[in-house]
């Protein structure tokens, strides 16, 4: 591999790890809210009102997707 390809791979791996941490922090914050509390979730450039449970499930799905991308990147 060339140096540029290694840096690009390393940068994307680092960015994916930051994204996982970001989603994990969001899940922790959502878990601290009462279940009856309404929250807003970003979808594109818009925010939609939803429940804590739905927002947590969505964040967990994002964590799973990024982790699977990380595994694919690590295995190649």
Convert the pLDDT of each residue in 42-74 to its tens digit: 999 999 999 999 999 999 999 999 999 999 888
Q: What are the boundaries of each domain within the chain?
A: 3-75
Looking at the predicted structure, is the pLDDT value of residue 6 above 90?
Answer: no
- The average confidence (pLDDT) of the chain is 89
Report how far apart the first and last C-alpha atoms of the chain are (Å, whole number): 12
Looking at the predicted structure, is the pLDDT value of residue 2 above 60?
Answer: no
Select 3-75's CATH number: 3.40.50.1820, 3.40.80.10, 3.40.50.1110, 1.10.287.370. Answer: 1.10.287.370
49 forms bridges with which residues in the sheet? 40
Task: Please tell me the pTM assigned to this model.
Answer: 0.80
Please tell me what DSSP assigns to residue 36: T
pLDDT (0 to 100) of residue 7: 66
> Are 58 and 41 within 8 A, CB to CB?
yes
Q: Where are the beta strands (DSSP E) in the chain?
A: 38-43, 46-51
């Amino acid at each position: 591999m060339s140096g540029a390809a290694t840096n690009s791979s390393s940068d994307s791996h680092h960015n994916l790890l930051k994204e996982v941490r970001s989603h994990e922090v969001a899940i922790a914050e959502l878990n601290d809210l009462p279940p009856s509390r309404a929250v807003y979730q970003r979808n594109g450039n818009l925010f939609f009102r939803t429940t804590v449970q739905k927002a947590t499930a969505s964040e967990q799905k994002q964590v799973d997707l990024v982790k699977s991308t990380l595994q694919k990147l690590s295995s190649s």
